[in-house]
Structure 1
Amino acid sequence: MSKYLLNKFLFTVDRDPELVERYREEPRATVEWWESEYANRILGCHSGESSTWLRFEDVEREALASHDYQKLFELGAHPFLTLTLFIAMFERDHPPLGFQLEYARRLSHMALPYPDITT
């Protein structure tokens, strides 16, 4: 499992409004596309450098493709990255602060110590 790759996905998608909408509307296709096109690009590198070894595991890919932020949290994805992306995608479908309250409710079963979020 690669918490780095999960966080990289959340970080890069959240910073592009078009990708946010694409991920909202077509999550599975977006995850597959991102994994094949961006997973191995080096963050901050504009010269085309890339690696070749980063891939999501099936459980990570499925959690991303199903918008399962609870599972992503359990896998160690950074909660701030998860929350900001999912707010951007789903806040419009809830009353004010409604999504944040739903997020908190769905994660309320978690107890300290929380999953390790170091990468």
Structure 2
Amino acid sequence: MSKYLLNKFLFTVDRDPELVERYRNEPEETVAWWEREQANRILNCHGGESSTWLRFDDDERAALAGHDYPRLFELGAHPFLTLTLFIAMFERDYDEPLGFQLEYARKLSHMTLPYPDIAT
């Protein structure tokens, strides 16, 4: 398991409106593409720099592909990264103000202290 890679996915997808829409509409394909093409790129470096060893495990891949933000939180993904990305993807589906944020809180309400470690 790599909390770094989970957070890197959330961070990079959230910063690209086209990727946000792609992830919303085609989550399995987007996760597979990102893992294959983007996971090993080094953040803030030119395109020629990369590593070769970073991969999601099956549980991470399933949680990302299923938009399962409670499971991502349990796996140690940073809650601010999950919240901002999923707001961008799903806030429009709610009529009331803060609709998605309230849904996010409800789905994570079973969590108690101590929360999962979010350190990478």
Tell me, in whole angstroms, the C-alpha distance in 2 between the residues paired with 1:100 and 1:79. 12
- Secondary structure of the residue that 2:44 maps to in structure 1? coil
Tell me, in whole angstroms, the C-alpha distance in 2 between the residues paired with 1:47 and 1:118. 27
How big is each residue's C-alpha offset from its partner over 1:9-50, in whole Å with a ceiling of 9 and x where there is no partner?
Answer: 000000000000000000000000000000000000114110
Tell me, in whole angstroms, the C-alpha distance in 2 between the residues paired with 1:29 and 1:109. 30
- Per the alignment, residue 88 of structure 1 pairs with 88
For residue 88 of structure 2, what is the amino acid of its counterpart?
A
- Secondary structure of the residue that 1:63 maps to in structure 2? helix
What stretches of structure 1 of length at least 5 have no aligned partner? none
Q: What TM-score results when the alignment is normalised by the length of structure 1?
A: 0.99
For residue 77 of structure 2, what is the amino acid of its counterpart?
A
Tell me, in whole angstroms, the C-alpha distance in 2 between the residues paired with 1:85 and 1:40. 21
- Per the alignment, residue 46 of structure 1 pairs with 46
For residue 91 of structure 1, what is the amino acid of its counterpart?
E
Matched, 1:35 2:35: yes
What stretches of structure 2 of length at least 5 have no aligned partner? none
Q: What TM-score results when the alignment is normalised by the length of structure 2?
A: 0.98
Aligned length: 119
Coordinate RMSD, CA, aligned: 0.5
Percent of aligned positions with the same letter in both sequences? 84
